[in-house]
């Protein structure tokens, strides 16, 4: 009935890569339009960027933002979104069957990213397009001048190159829903060709190949192996995507979603390392979990079943206290794999299954999941430490018996922070053994918990679920369904 956690500074997993705390802005629903960009909004700047949203993005501590999709990118022409706004075409977006005005494009995104203080992670279209267009986009973004694409950017008023480091080779190319989806052989070859051409333009960029859209895909693991066999030398990262639906299966399994993520990451790493052995390479592929979150996906209305709309409100899920605990636990799982999993993008940033919500013309507010993300991004620095943990078990339908408490820690100079969750429905005393550190002083204890685990924040009640704060101690009672960050200095 008691959880015990022992920490030692020599139980090192690896450094905390700040790119783990990334997010995702897709041209989907109201993420861009009336999300980050809303000309005429009382808080919009001269470029139409919502400064109230920018303030929240900075508070969230997001480091890296993937753009412009998602499924959207697989039929997108990046040229539509650059140059004089009045000349840009209105297009039918095939991914979400929405009208894309192209009022916001690459250069607007880069202006927003600079204000938000985030690193861009740019995705190229490998659905309806190929190596030539991908290489030309790198040229437009990263070359100084003297070539057609670089000079076009200058003509568009952007004198200095954007110098974008991180690039995604398409999106979810294994998914039958994807415009231009491919077999693993087809995609692996295309990714190798596009990657080769893109690195000819700028050899210093880093490339992410598409892994599976989900661990439940019928092609999972075979897909990763086939893609890497063809593109191993061109790519630096392999992506994985995963979403957890609170309405799928039993609630205990949902609360223990991080157990699934742990296994998924381990399986992708084993597959990547198997290919490395077969190809006799020394380079190790790193992982980019470049779409992850809680998503009430069973409520999704498929694009085929909706009419064509301009800026529809798509998948604007209201998140609960339980969802926030799960998000905090998924971040714990990511940190546990910090030696190989070094990019993470929570999907998405605003309105679409997001930590930040907005009303058109109205306020912006923090969802419950905002809090564990913001605090983990703020506090998880330095080196990840793996705790020795014993905890009472809880029974789940999907994973059998699993520990009801999960935890990880980071050490940054003298600051030790323990991130912990109680994913069970009973209170559990947690005993921290920090003897190996010799005389740490208490710092802050942040907690997200509520008597009603189904409570969420809304436009009318934006502060209903917030963090509690007290002094940290080594003897803590973890409330049912709760998330904690305990710092010691």
Give me the active site residues, please. Answer: 172, 291
Quick check: 352 and 319 in contact, CB under 8 A? no
CA angle, residues 355, 70, 51, in degrees to nearest 5: 40
Q: Which of 79, 291, 323, 406 binds ligand AHR (CB under 6 A)?
A: 291
Q: Which of 71, 101, 107, 342 binds ligand AHR (CB under 6 A)?
A: 71
Give burial (CB, 10 Å; 0-12/13-18/19+) of 383.
middle
Residue 209 interacts with ligand AHR (CB under 6 A): yes or no: no
Cα separation values, 345 from 94, 235, 289, Å: 23, 18, 6
Quick check: 61 and 371 in contact, CB under 8 A? no
Residue 69 interacts with ligand AHR (CB under 6 A): yes or no: yes
Q: Whose CB is nearest to ligand AHR?
A: 70
Q: Which of 34, 63, 125, 171 binds ligand AHR (CB under 6 A)?
A: 171
Residue 22 interacts with ligand AHR (CB under 6 A): yes or no: no
Please identify, using beta-carbon distances, which residue of 232 and 296 lies nearer to ligand AHR.
296
Quick check: 320 and 454 in contact, CB under 8 A? yes
- Residues paired with residue 421 on neighbouring β-strands, in sequence order: 406, 483
Exposure b/e, 32-67, CB count within 10 A at least 16 = b:
bbbbbbbeebebbeeebbbebbbebbeebbbbbbbb
Please identify, using beta-carbon distances, which residue of 212 and 450 lies nearer to ligand AHR.
212
Residue 102 interacts with ligand AHR (CB under 6 A): yes or no: no
Q: Which of 26, 38, 202, 323 binds ligand AHR (CB under 6 A)?
A: 26
Please identify, using beta-carbon distances, which residue of 106 and 314 lies nearer to ligand AHR.
314
Helix 51-60 vs helix 370-379: crossing angle, to nearest 10: 60
Quote the least distance from Cβ 446 to ligand AHR, whole Å: 28
CA distance 303 to 175: 15
What lies within 8 Å, CB to CB, of 415 at 6+ separation is 381, 382, 443, 487, 488, 489
Please identify, using beta-carbon distances, which residue of 228 and 347 lies nearer to ligand AHR.
347
Cα separation values, 120 from 35, 70, 163, 289, 399, Å: 18, 14, 10, 15, 36
Quote the least distance from Cβ 73 to ligand AHR, whole Å: 8
Quick check: 121 and 331 in contact, CB under 8 A? no
Quote the least distance from Cβ 214 to ligand AHR, whole Å: 8
Q: Which of 158, 347, 356, 420 binds ligand AHR (CB under 6 A)?
A: 347
Stretch that binds ligand AHR, among 38-46, 69-77, 417-425, 448-456 (CB under 6 A): 69-77
Please identify, using beta-carbon distances, which residue of 285 and 347 lies nearer to ligand AHR.
347
User: Residues in contact with ligand AHR, total (CB under 6 A)?
Assistant: 11
Residue 351 interacts with ligand AHR (CB under 6 A): yes or no: no
Quote the least distance from Cβ 295 to ligand AHR, whole Å: 8
Q: Where does this chain bind ligand AHR (CB under 6 A)?
A: 26, 28, 69-71, 171-172, 213, 291, 347-348
């Amino acid at each position: 009935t008691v959880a015990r956690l022992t920490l030692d500074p020599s139980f090192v997993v690896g450094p905390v890569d700040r790119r783990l705390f990334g997010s995702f802005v897709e041209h989907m629903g109201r993420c861009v339009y009336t999300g980050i960009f809303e000309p005429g909004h009382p808080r919009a700047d001269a470029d139409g960027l919502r400064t109230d949203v920018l303030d929240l993005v900075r508070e969230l501590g997001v480091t890296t933002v993937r753009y412009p999709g998602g499924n959207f990118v697989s039929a997108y022409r990046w040229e539509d979104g650059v140059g004089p706004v009045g000349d840009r075409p209105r297009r039918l977006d095939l991914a979400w069957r929405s009208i894309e005005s192209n009022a916001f494009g690459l250069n607007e995104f880069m202006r927003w990213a600079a204000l938000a203080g985030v690193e861009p992670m740019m995705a190229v279209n490998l659905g309806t397009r190929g190596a030539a267009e991908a290489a030309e986009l790198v040229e437009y973004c990263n070359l100084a001048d003297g070539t057609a694409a670089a000079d076009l950017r200058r003509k568009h008023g952007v004198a200095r190159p954007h110098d974008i480091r991180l690039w995604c080779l398409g999106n979810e190319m294994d998914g039958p829903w994807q415009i231009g989806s491919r077999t693993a052989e087809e995609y692996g070859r295309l990714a190798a060709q596009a990657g080769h051409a893109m690195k000819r333009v700028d050899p210093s960029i880093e490339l992410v190949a598409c892994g599976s859209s989900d661990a439940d895909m019928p092609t999972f693991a075979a897909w990763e192996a086939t893609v890497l066999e063809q593109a191993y030398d061109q790519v630096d990262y392999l992506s994985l995507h995963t979403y957890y639906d609170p309405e799928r299966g039993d609630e205990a399994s949902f609360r223990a979603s991080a157990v699934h993520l742990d296994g998924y990451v381990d399986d992708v790493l084993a597959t990547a390392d198997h290919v490395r052995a077969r190809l006799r390479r020394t380079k190790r592929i790193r992982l980019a979990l470049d779409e992850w979150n809680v998503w009430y996906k069973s409520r999704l209305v498929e694009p085929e079943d909706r009419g064509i709309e301009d800026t529809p409100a798509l998948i604007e899920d209201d998140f609960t206290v339980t969802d926030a605990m799960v998000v905090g636990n998924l971040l714990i799982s990511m940190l546990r794999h910090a030696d190989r999993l070094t990019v993470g993008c929570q999907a998405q940033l605003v309105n679409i299954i997001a930590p930040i919500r907005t009303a058109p013309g109205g306020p912006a507010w923090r969802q419950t999941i905002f809090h564990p993300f913001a605090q983990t991004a703020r506090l998880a620095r330095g080196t990840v430490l793996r705790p020795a943990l014993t905890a009472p078990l809880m029974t789940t339908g999907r994973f059998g018996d699993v520990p009801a408490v999960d935890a990880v820690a980071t050490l940054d100079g003298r600051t030790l922070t323990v991130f912990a969750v109680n994913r069970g429905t009973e209170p559990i005393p947690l005993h921290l053994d920090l003897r190996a550190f010799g005389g740490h002083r208490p710092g802050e204890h942040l907690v997200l918990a509520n008597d009603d685990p189904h409570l969420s924040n809304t436009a009318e009640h934006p502060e209903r679920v917030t963090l509690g704060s007290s002094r940290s101690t080594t003897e803590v009672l973890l409330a049912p369904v709760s998330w904690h960050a305990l710092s010691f200095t």
